[in-house]
Amino acid sequence: MGEAIAAYLHYLSIFGLFALLSIEHVSFSKELDVARARRLVITDLAYGVCAGLVLLTGLVRVIWYGKGWQYYISNSLFHTKVGLFILVGLLSAYPTYVYLNWRNTLKAGQAPVISRREKLLVTMIIRLELLLLLIIPLLATLMARGFGSG
């Protein structure tokens, strides 16, 4: 039963991660007013929490369930999957940095001003994150079928 609950929570947090990043992408592409900017900050915070849940539930599955941590540690696809997850986390730091810089502007009740270059950069980073997040389940599926070990 514990294994099923851990798997369910892991999948649910992955879906949440993808959904929140998609919401962030759509929200960021629209005109920024105070309300939308605040929602972006909150969405980004929820995204970070969800990423932590993905990591936590993934660790639970690796350590206590699945094929045993020895299998995962010796699997090249597992290392690739974790590496991509870390890369997504590192990429997400820039949009978070941009949103955190809006604090004073939002406290003053003003919409943040963002340059065209910065808007393009954040948009491209979010799209890259979404792409990388799509690759991770493929690697997990292959890994679960024995690929990457040996």
Element (H, E) at 127: helix 116-144
What is the distance between the alpha carbons of residues 46 and 92, in angstroms, rounded to a whole number?
12
The CA–CA distances, whole Å, from 132 to 14, 18, 39, 87, 104 equal 13, 11, 24, 9, 32
Query: Residues 3-41, buried b or exposed e (16+ Cβ, 10 A)?
Result: eeebeebbeebbebbbebbebbbeebeeebeeeebeebb
Please say whether the beta carbons of 24 and 95 come within 8 A.
yes
pLDDT tens profile 70-127: 888 999 999 999 999 999 999 999 999 999 999 999 999 999 999 999 999 999 999 9
Token representation of residue 57: 């539930």
* 113 within domain boundaries: yes
Domain assignment of residue 129, given as a range: 2-144
pLDDT tens profile 23-71: 999 999 999 999 999 999 999 999 999 999 999 999 999 999 878 888 8
Residue linked to tokens 């649910």: 12
pLDDT tens profile 4-14: 999 999 999 99
Our count of domains for the chain comes to 1
* 129 within domain boundaries: yes
Element (H, E) at 142: helix 116-144
* 14 within domain boundaries: yes
* 149 within domain boundaries: no
Residue linked to tokens 């997990």: 140
* 22 within domain boundaries: yes
State the pTM of this model. Answer: 0.91
